[in-house]
A and B are shown apart, each in its own frame.
Chain A
Amino acid sequence: MTVMTYAEAGMTALAEEMRRDPLVWAVGEDLGRGGVFGQYKGLVEEFGPERISDAPISESAIMGASVGAAMAGTRPVVEMRFADFALCAVDELVNQAAKARYMLGGQTKVPMVIREPMGMWRSSAAQHSQSLESWYTHIPGLVVAVPSTPADNKGLLKAAIRADDPVVYFEHKNLWGMEGEVPDGDLLIPFGRARIEREGRDITIVSWSSQLHTASRASGILEKQDISAEVIDLRTLWPWDRDAVFASVEKTGRLLITHESVSVGGFGAEIAATVSEYLFKALKSPVRRRAAPRIPISYAPLLEDVVRVSEAQIVETVLEMMSS
């Protein structure tokens, strides 16, 4: 075990995979200077500018060329800098990468990782704050990963690099500096395997990414009020760990899903619908969601806070659910 930050864990994962497989390489803007958040620091020195490649501000060509390079046998790790900027390259990801294997009759594969730092961070306003992970869960062919801890960032990124399908990989900007223990060596976390952040009996709270920590803090507050919440970190949204969520809901009889992204059409809705379809009889109260309202993210901190789901809101919702 080594204590390291979430950013260092991602860097370690990439460095280990690049040492293991000479066909793993990374591309994006400013990677040679360590990346915007320092998450590529030192890599160009070890691997050289061909494998830690600095690209022009040409997101669609970065993404499209990576799709081609993946089909041609390499394993690109594509850095999109902010999830918001990846929208400049959605055709290459959604129309091309996601569909190539299927549409071309299984003749090809697109083993690539698309890293998209997401989330609200330092009053960055509407074009630098979005959490768009739910969008990509709607697209057949894409894997969607949302790590919340340094260890998961290492283990999921390594697994993503080895995966033979495109993985949209969301790191949360709030988490870069978060420290935690990270297992040394080959840590590979399989997709679709949730992590129980905290065990409990009365209610199941499902979350991911940075919001998981808000949910976890809320469960600490609830504990003082004698409510025992089980907090589940999904880690990947597609595939998602239905078995873990079902097992927990069967035990607790209550389910709250909370995420930073917009509630409408969010992945919380998919989980709520699935649980309602299959576990209706086990439910003691209606499934609830706490997620952002459908409003662009503001610059002024007071307005930004309005769309942020706080632990107080989670506690409030849980108390309502417990009394219903």
Chain B
Amino acid sequence: MLRLMQTIRRFEERASTDYVAGDIYGTVHCYIGEEAVAVGVCSALNRDDQIISTHRGHGHCIAKGADLNRMMAELYGRETGYCKGKGGSMHIADFDIGMLGANGIVAGGISIITGAGLAAQIEGKGRVAVSFFGDGASCAGPFHESLNIAAAWKLPMVYVCENNLWAVNTAASTTLAVQDVAARAAGYGIPGIVVDGNDIFAVHAATTEAVARARAGDGPTLIECKTYRHRRHTERPSQPDVRPQAEIDAWMKKDPIDRLVDHLQAQQGQLSVEEWQAMDAEILQQVEDSVSFAKASAFPSPDRVTDDVFAA
């Protein structure tokens, strides 16, 4: 789990650098600071369980097992990327591992993944479906309509709200009249659970329980993970950030990776300083390799532009 969390972080640090350098286009939203949510949730899932992501999707991809090379190639707009260079950061998907895609439309994924839950129910093979979304997205219609449908039909769903307190530069406290997004679950007659989203063990435990409930046919659960993004909304240098410095500083001290490392190091023999350094070096090398892979890959040829518009 630590390895995956650190992989997300290093991957995004590099993506940010290369974005600012102009090698990556469009917009990059970093997940750094929220790694315990994606990894805690996905480590409680099977490979064939399905997830859907948001505009801030790298963490969910990596946690579900996506290939760094193909991810980086997509950011670099290359034909070897997950979307053949057509999507970019906000649209990475890997259907082979049950990752149904990042999404440029806030809350756009919530109803789609609810449909994957419906399909899982129809197929009856015990698969579950997980929706990741932010506090901001929980104000949009698809959240409310989807929770109601999933609850009414007892769909095998887990809804994971990543409450990082802000939607771009708007504080959740100014747009939600409830303290906890999880409180909204009551309106749909399903369990709503608040967890410390920077505590990987808490996230994992809550998800394990929710997944068991879903697989048993008892319907959806809403899990709200309280967390924080360390960085501005996007990596664009001109992107303003109005969050109070004191708030940022306080959350930096609750870094989910530091916390896990401290925890493991406090337990005799679980993780030595050398082991941690070696792991980080390996991860950095993998990220470096993904950049080399991306750079060695061709840009999509213009005549590919009409591919995939329709079935044939």
Residues of chain A whose beta carbon lies under 8 Å from any beta carbon of chain B: 29-30, 32-34, 36, 54-61, 84-85, 88, 122-128, 293-296, 298-303, 305-307
Whether the Cβ atoms of A124 and B27 lie closer than 8 Å is yes
Partner of A59, one of B86, B140, B302: B140
**Shortest distance in angstroms between A269's beta carbon and chain B's nearest beta carbon?**
20
A303 to B242 Cα, complex, angstroms: 35
Residue of A nearest to B103 (CB): A127
Whether the Cβ atoms of A58 and B139 lie closer than 8 Å is yes
A293 to B303 Cα, complex, angstroms: 13
Beyond A58-B141, A123-B26, 17 extra complex contacts between A and B, CB < 8 Å: A29-B167, A29-B170, A36-B168, A54-B174, A56-B167, A56-B175, A57-B167, A60-B141, A122-B27, A124-B26, A128-B90, A300-B85, A300-B299, A302-B300, A302-B302, A303-B86, A303-B300
A293 to B78 Cα, complex, angstroms: 22
Hey, what's the 0/1 contact readout for B33-71 against A, CB within 8 Å counting as 1? Answer: 000000000000000000000000000000000000000
Q: Is the interface of B mostly helix, strand, loop or mixed?
A: loop
Residue B107 is within 8 A (CB to CB) of chain A in the complex: yes
Residue of A nearest to B176 (CB): A56
A37 to B229 Cα, complex, angstroms: 22
Whether the Cβ atoms of B104 and A300 lie closer than 8 Å is no
Residue B304 is within 8 A (CB to CB) of chain A in the complex: yes
A293 to B306 Cα, complex, angstroms: 9
User: For A305, what are the chain B residues with a Cβ–Cβ distance below 8 Å?
Assistant: 302
**Shortest distance in angstroms between B163's beta carbon and chain A's nearest beta carbon?**
13
Whether the Cβ atoms of B170 and A54 lie closer than 8 Å is yes
Q: A57-B106, A295-B306 are in contact. Are A125 and B176 (CB under 8 A)?
A: no
User: For A301, what are the chain B residues with a Cβ–Cβ distance below 8 Å?
Assistant: 25, 77
A-B contact pairs, 25 of them (CB 8 A): A30-B169, A30-B170, A33-B170, A54-B175, A56-B167, A57-B107, A57-B137, A57-B167, A88-B141, A123-B26, A123-B88, A124-B27, A125-B26, A125-B88, A125-B104, A127-B104, A127-B105, A127-B108, A128-B27, A299-B77, A299-B88, A300-B300, A302-B77, A303-B300, A303-B305
**Shortest distance in angstroms between B38's beta carbon and chain A's nearest beta carbon?**
21
A299 to B102 Cα, complex, angstroms: 14
Among residues 289 to 312 in chain B, which have CB atoms less than 8 Å away from a CB atom of chain A? 299-302, 304-306, 309
A293 to B309 Cα, complex, angstroms: 11
A123 to B86 Cα, complex, angstroms: 10
Whether the Cβ atoms of A84 and B168 lie closer than 8 Å is no
Among residues 163 to 195 in chain B, which have CB atoms less than 8 Å away from a CB atom of chain A? 167-170, 174-176
Residue B217 is within 8 A (CB to CB) of chain A in the complex: no
A298 to B136 Cα, complex, angstroms: 27
Residues of chain B whose beta carbon lies under 8 Å from any beta carbon of chain A: 25-27, 77-78, 83, 85-88, 90-91, 103-108, 136-137, 139-141, 167-170, 174-176, 240, 242, 299-302, 304-306, 309
**Shortest distance in angstroms between B26's beta carbon and chain A's nearest beta carbon?**
4
**Shortest distance in angstroms between A297's beta carbon and chain B's nearest beta carbon?**
9
Residue of B nearest to A36 (CB): B168
Q: A122-B26, A300-B85 are in contact. Are A55 and B175 (CB under 8 A)?
A: yes
Q: A127-B104, A299-B85, A303-B304 are in contact. Are A57 and B139 (CB under 8 A)?
A: yes
**Shortest distance in angstroms between A173's beta carbon and chain B's nearest beta carbon?**
12
Residue of A nearest to B139 (CB): A56
Whether the Cβ atoms of B91 and A299 lie closer than 8 Å is yes
User: For A296, what are the chain B residues with a Cβ–Cβ distance below 8 Å?
Assistant: 86, 309
A37 to B119 Cα, complex, angstroms: 40
**Shortest distance in angstroms between A98's beta carbon and chain B's nearest beta carbon?**
20
**Shortest distance in angstroms between A208's beta carbon and chain B's nearest beta carbon?**
25
User: For B85, what are the chain A residues with a Cβ–Cβ distance below 8 Å?
Assistant: 298-300, 303
**Shortest distance in angstroms between B189's beta carbon and chain A's nearest beta carbon?**
22
User: For B104, what are the chain A residues with a Cβ–Cβ distance below 8 Å?
Assistant: 84, 125-128
Whether the Cβ atoms of B168 and A123 lie closer than 8 Å is no
Q: A33-B240, A58-B141, A300-B299 are in contact. Are A306 and B305 (CB under 8 A)?
A: yes
Partner of B86, one of A29, A33, A36, A125: A125
User: For A57, what are the chain B residues with a Cβ–Cβ distance below 8 Å?
Assistant: 106-107, 136-137, 139-140, 167, 175
User: For B88, what are the chain A residues with a Cβ–Cβ distance below 8 Å?
Assistant: 123, 125, 299-300
Q: A30-B170, A298-B305, A299-B25 are in contact. Are A88 and B105 (CB under 8 A)?
A: yes
Whether the Cβ atoms of A307 and B305 lie closer than 8 Å is yes
- Going nearest first, the 8 A-B pairs with the smallest beta carbon separation are A127-B104, A299-B88, A123-B25, A56-B139, A300-B85, A300-B77, A56-B175, A123-B26
A272 to B141 Cα, complex, angstroms: 40
Whether the Cβ atoms of B175 and A33 lie closer than 8 Å is no
User: For A128, what are the chain B residues with a Cβ–Cβ distance below 8 Å?
Assistant: 26-27, 90, 104
User: For A307, what are the chain B residues with a Cβ–Cβ distance below 8 Å?
Assistant: 305
Residue of A nearest to B79 (CB): A300
**Shortest distance in angstroms between B134's beta carbon and chain A's nearest beta carbon?**
9
A237 to B300 Cα, complex, angstroms: 36
Residue of B nearest to A85 (CB): B105
A37 to B306 Cα, complex, angstroms: 32
**Shortest distance in angstroms between A62's beta carbon and chain B's nearest beta carbon?**
10
Whether the Cβ atoms of A303 and B140 lie closer than 8 Å is no
Whether the Cβ atoms of A300 and B140 lie closer than 8 Å is no
Whether the Cβ atoms of A299 and B87 lie closer than 8 Å is yes
Whether the Cβ atoms of B26 and A299 lie closer than 8 Å is yes
**Shortest distance in angstroms between B141's beta carbon and chain A's nearest beta carbon?**
5
Residue among A55, A56, A128, A294 with max Cβ neighbours from chain B (10 Å): A56
Whether the Cβ atoms of B302 and A125 lie closer than 8 Å is no
User: For B309, what are the chain A residues with a Cβ–Cβ distance below 8 Å?
Assistant: 294-296
Whether the Cβ atoms of B83 and A58 lie closer than 8 Å is no
Residue among A55, A59, A126, A303 with max Cβ neighbours from chain B (10 Å): A303
User: For A55, what are the chain B residues with a Cβ–Cβ distance below 8 Å?
Assistant: 175
